[in-house]
Amino acid sequence: MECFSLLRSDVPALIDHLGDFGEVIAPHGKGDVSYSFEAVQDSCDVVLDYNRTLLPLKKMFLPPVEKLMGFSLKNESYEQVDVAITSRVFFGVHSYEMQSILRLDHSMLTGSAESNYFKRRQSSRFVGISFEPDEFHFSESVGIVIEEMEGFDLFLNEVDGDFQLYVLTENGQEMLNGFDKINITEPEIVEGRHFKKKIRYHYNRLPRVFQYAYHSEVWADVASRCVGCGACTLTCPTCFCFDVQDEVEVTAEDGIRQRSWDSCMLSTFAEVAGGENFREKTINRTRHRLYRKFKYITDEEGLPWCVGCGRCTAFCPAGISMPDIVNELIQEDEKAQYHRTVRV
């Protein structure tokens, strides 16, 4: 693994250079508080220090709204949608975000492998960047350190204001061909970046906690504060549920079928005709959301499906915190164990 030094002031030049390998998509500031992954127009606009984007990078592979087909009502026929395969370079991606894309790959490609997703996901290259954890990040607790480089072609690790650039793949090597503002250097270990938020157990102990947490009192407490807005799932980088709707033009002759992100936190998500609702209460839905992150898929794949980005917590209008819920479940589990031992 090669490592180069790169001055902060030369990063825009690197971004321009990467433009040879496809459209460059990178974080941009939207006001002071909100960030967003957008196509780069001017490399100087790219933000290198950001906590998290509002919408996850997922939106580039599984768009919030996506046309599935066009149809004609008159002819009872439809037209296919051609999903273009375009080369794209995703620049300035945090490690947890990259890990979320790897999880999304699994979700969309396992079982029936979806062609729409596959086409968008193909021909993408990733340049990672380190970050300073804020009060919401807890990715280390789910096994993802700041410098986790899996999935990246290149990775920028900030050292004293400038960067160390790691070359991780052949693609990464190719992307640096002809770029001369870098010098070979020895990799350094950066100290002093700490996660402020933590889950108290190693993540491999969580499935066991969840095994006994189904009837926990914690759910009712969380549910009593939740307003059911769905922001937690709509900003989550590993959520992938969707709804499908038909939209008809005013002429009533043509229309499109589209899908859009959906949320298991919305009350009608599991409702069927006739009014039966299989997760009728908020408590059922809150629990389902967390079990999807820490138990159901985790049992099969051995990894938490939460990457600790902190979005669901940062953007929850009710201040409901993912790591706090998990810590409360842990605490309750410890108490239950204590009582179990005492009784024996």
Partner 1 sequence: MKRLQDVEHHETEDLYYPTMCKVIGAKQITEMEKWYELEMPEGQSLGHGPGQFVEVSAFGIGEAPISISSSPSKNGKFELCIRQVGTLTNVLKNYETGDSMGIRGPFGKGFPMEKLFGKDILVVAGGIGLVPLRSLINYVLDNRKDFGRLIILYGAKTPSELLFTDELKMWKDRDDVELHVTVDQPDETWKGNTGVITTLIPSLDLKLNTTIAAITGPPVMYKFVVMSLKSKQLPDDQIYLSLERRMKCGVGKCGHCQINGVYCCQDGPVFNYVDIKPLEEAL
Which stretches of the chain bind ligand FAD, using CB under 6 A? 272-273
- Pick from 11, 303, 309, 329: which binds ligand SF4 (CB under 6 A)? 309
Cβ at position 163, least distance to ligand SF4 in Å: 25
Indicate which single residue of 48, 307, 326, 329 sits in contact with ligand SF4 (rule: CB under 6 A): 307
| Interaction between residue 228 and ligand SF4 (CB under 6 A) | yes
Does 1 help bind ligand SF4 (rule: CB under 6 A)? no
Three-state DSSP class for residue 127: strand
Q: Who's near 66: CB < 8 A, 6+ residues apart? A: 116, 258, 259, 260
Distances (CA, A) of 326 to 56, 142, 175, 332: 22, 12, 41, 10
Cα separation of 53 and 162, whole Å?
22
Give the nearer residue to partner 1 in terms of CB position, either 12 or 207.
Answer: 207
Are 231 and 54 in contact, with CB atoms under 8 Å apart? no
Supply the DSSP string of 92-110, one letter for each residue: EE-HHHHHHHHHHHHHHHS
Residue 171 Cβ, how far from ligand SF4 at the closest point, in Å? 26
User: At closest approach, how far in Å is the CB of 244 from ligand FAD?
Assistant: 8
CA atoms within 13 A on the CB side of 328: 14
Contact 18, 127 (CB under 8 A): yes
- Whether residue 177 contacts residue 119, with contact meaning beta carbons closer than 8 Å, is answered with no
CB of 243 to ligand FAD, least distance (A): 8
Reading the block at residue 182, the tokens are 């870098």
Residue in 26, 236, 297, 325 binding ligand SF4, rule: CB under 6 A:
236
Check if the beta carbon of residue 105 is closer than 8 Å to that of residue 294.
no
CB of 250 to ligand FAD, least distance (A): 22
Q: How far is the CB of 9 from ligand FAD (least distance, A)?
A: 54
As a whole number of angstroms, the distance between CA 83 and CA 269 comes to: 28
CB 212, min distance to partner 1, A: 13
Residue with smaller CB distance to partner 1, 1 or 102: 102
Which residue is associated with the tokens 């499906």?
A: 305
| CB-count burial class (<10 Å; 0-12, 13-18, 19+) for 83 | middle
Q: Which does 240 bind (CB under 5 to 8 A by kind): ligand FAD, partner 1, ligand SF4, none?
A: partner 1
Whose Cβ is closer to ligand FAD: residue 145's or residue 244's?
Answer: 244
List residues near partner 1 by CB under 8 A: 68-69, 71-73, 76-78, 80, 102-103, 105-116, 118-119, 121-122, 214, 240-246, 248, 252, 255, 257, 259, 262, 264, 269-274, 276, 278-279, 284, 288, 291-292, 295-297, 299, 301-303
Residues that bind ligand SF4 (CB under 6 A): 226-232, 235-238, 265, 293, 306-312, 316-318, 320, 322
